[in-house]
């Protein structure tokens, strides 16, 4: 057995133990040849349907690159879709263009997050009518298009809807004709209704320690996360990429071409693909996550290496994919320097541009945890006193604590938020832009908050004090996938009296609520 074969054998033995759950699948290709095509466990544990390379799987947000591929195949200049996009955003004075959408530089708040502010219960339905209403109600942007990055699912729903209308064909038909047939993805389909797959494959919530249960999905996804494909379909896609690698006009060459912000700074996301570095090599790819499903694909062009991981449960598919890349390249994933002391700048802060709270605490020897974006991030401490994970960097300088997030084209000095939060904020608040409400209740000395709007009334959640007039409202569950992150509540006062709250999370920022009771 060669060294590579031995490493891959160890990888396949470790995956079900390291990422335990009902089932999974992995493909590894190099230079167009399949090194690994492997599935384990069950696609449907109750019906005892084995997971195979032919099982359909929800590829989740990996869909976004296929949406952009269909758009680029139909139109050399995607701005042909701009009038149709503007029509779907009637209350915006200047709607973002198709390229801003495709690069997640639109400034639109994510409709999945905004749905929470409209009171959507965790397992409520969210279909075409609800999505169109949330999108059409957009009155402001959270930043000027092309100046910043923020993940926004409806960017790609808008693209697929506009493409469907412009072409006069269903999005499913466009995907089949322009992408799937060309790449040899024989069984891939648009499975917009997330409640079931035709071959019975099921997604699961839970954990090995507490057990698994079938995940509830009542969301209709399209160009943002609607595709279902088998491992064999994705192998065909990776082979197509490798076969066309030397053609600058190929779909993947166009999808992975360099992208910039308006100021010329390089952007790490474009056309539904993230750009990054792993083990010193440039990568493109995307993760995917819906309730009950996790997926990840990564492509290293210089190595002609592709990895695809599917899990029908909530383990870390991205980490599993990096394990596979490390096994092929015979690399080791670096860990933190555990001898470095905890920095003195841990605690509570506020980022001035987004208005969001920044909470920093220890995450084990040599690491800090940052709660600011969509998910908590772990940053490794550095000998110079900074902390970084390659995407975010925290460093002390003469002006204070600076947070650099080049993937968002953003750098700012954080505002200290030390001290106790004032508890006199119970009451009712109204957001005129959303026509939605927030209620904060004092229940026996503990503060709870909940949202209400045209989608319903959410459950009360215990507020977490962050600092003076700064609170966090946790969002443990959402319509789908992990929730959009904790909501920051920044209290406004006049002469000491509470008059309103500015509310936001990383996916939906700077929304103003006035106190009405």
Burial track 445-470 (b if 16+ CB lie within 10 A, e otherwise): eebbbbbbbebeebeebebbebbebb
Catalytic-labelled residue, pool 55, 64, 295, 357: 64
Q: Which tokens go with 215?
A: 């995940």
Contact 295, 311 (CB under 8 A): yes
61 is catalytic: yes
Nearest one of 421, 420, 439 to 429, comparing CA atoms: 439
Please state, in angstroms and as integers, the Cα–Cα distance from residue 134 to each residue in 41, 218, 337, following that order.
Answer: 39, 16, 46
Q: What is the C-alpha to C-alpha distance for residues 281 and 258, in angstroms, rounded to an integer?
A: 16
Cβ 308 vs Cβ 235: under 8 Å: yes
Q: By the 8 A CB rule, do 107 and 354 touch? A: no
| CA angle (273, 193, 62) in 5-degree steps | 10
Please state, in angstroms and rounded to a whole number, the distance separating the CA atoms of residues 146 and 108.
11
Provide the b/e sequence for 25-54 (b: ≥16 CB within 10 Å). Answer: bbbbbbeeeebbebbbbbbbbeeebebbbe
Give the C-alpha separation, 255 to 284, whole Å: 10
Strands 436-443, 427-431: parallel, antiparallel or unpaired by DSSP?
antiparallel
Nearest to 305 by CA among 286, 277, 324, 287: 324
Residue 106 appears among annotated catalytic residues: no
Pairing of strands 227-229, 57-58: antiparallel
Spatial contact of 39 and 45, defined as CB atoms under 8 Å apart: no
Cα–Cα separations (whole angstroms), residue 409 to 48, 142, 146, 260, 263? 48, 14, 10, 10, 9
Contact 501, 438 (CB under 8 A): yes
Q: Of the listed 55, 61, 152, 306, which one is catalytic?
A: 61
What Å distances lie between residue 204 and 9, 190, 481, CA to CA? 27, 20, 11
Active site (catalytic) residues: 61, 64
């Amino acid at each position: 057995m060669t060294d590579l074969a031995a490493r891959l054998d160890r990888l396949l033995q470790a995956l079900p133990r390291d990422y335990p759950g009902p089932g999974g699948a992995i493909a590894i290709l190099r230079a167009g040849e399949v090194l690994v095509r492997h599935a384990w466990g069950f696609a449907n544990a109750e019906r005892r349907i084995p997971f195979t390379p032919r099982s359909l799987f929800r590829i989740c947000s990996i869909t976004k690159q296929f949406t952009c591929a269909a758009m680029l195949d139909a139109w050399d200049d995607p701005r042909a879709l701009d009038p149709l996009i503007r029509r779907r955003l009637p209350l915006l004075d200047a709607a973002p263009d198709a390229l801003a959408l495709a690069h997640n530089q639109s400034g639109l708040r994510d409709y999945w997050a905004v749905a929470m502010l409209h009171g959507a219960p965790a397992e409520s339905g969210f279909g075409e009518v609800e999505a169109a209403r949330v999108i059409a109600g957009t009155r402001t942007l959270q930043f000027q298009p092309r100046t910043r990055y923020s993940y926004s699912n409806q960017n790609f729903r808008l693209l697929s809807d506009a493409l469907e209308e412009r072409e006069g064909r269903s999005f499913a038909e466009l995907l089949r004709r322009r992408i799937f047939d060309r790449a040899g993805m024989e069984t891939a389909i648009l499975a917009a209704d997330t409640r079931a797959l035709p071959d019975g494959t099921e997604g699961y919530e839970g954990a090995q320690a507490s057990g698994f249960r079938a995940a509830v999905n009542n969301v209709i996804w399209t160009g943002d996360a609607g595709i279902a494909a088998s491992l064999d379909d994705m192998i065909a896609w990776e082979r197509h990429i490798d076969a066309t690698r030397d053609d600058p006009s190929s779909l993947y060459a166009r999808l992975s071409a360099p992208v910039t912000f308006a100021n010329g700074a390089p952007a790490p996301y474009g056309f539904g693909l993230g750009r990054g570095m792993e083990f010193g090599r440039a990568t493109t790819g995307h993760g995917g996550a819906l309730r009950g499903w996790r997926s990840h694909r990564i492509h290293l062009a210089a190595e002609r290496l592709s990895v695809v991981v599917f899990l029908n449960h909530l383990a870390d598919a991205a980490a599993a994919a990096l394990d596979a890349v490390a096994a092929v390249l015979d690399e080791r994933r670096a860990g933190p320097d555990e001898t470095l002391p905890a920095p003195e700048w841990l605690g509570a802060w506020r980022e001035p541009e987004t208005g969001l709270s920044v909470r920093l605490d220890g995450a084990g020897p040599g690491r800090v945890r940052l709660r600011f974006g969509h998910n908590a991030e772990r940053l490794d401490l550095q000998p110079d006193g900074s902390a970084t994970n390659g995407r975010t960097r925290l460093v002390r300088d003469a002006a204070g604590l600076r947070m650099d997030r080049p993937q968002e084209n953003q750098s700012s000095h954080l505002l200290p938020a030390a001290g106790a939060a004032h508890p006199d904020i119970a009451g009712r608040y109204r957001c005129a832009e959303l026509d939605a409400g927030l209620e904060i209740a004092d229940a026996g000395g503990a503060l709870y908050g909940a949202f209400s709007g045209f989608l319903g009334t959410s459950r009360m959640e215990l507020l977490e004090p962050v600092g003076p007039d700064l609170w966090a409202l946790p969002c443990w569950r959402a319509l789908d996938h992990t929730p959009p992150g904790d909501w920051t509540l920044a209290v406004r006062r006049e002469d000491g009296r509470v008059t309103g709250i500015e509310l936001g999370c990383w996916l939906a920022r700077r929304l103003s609520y006035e106190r009405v009771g």
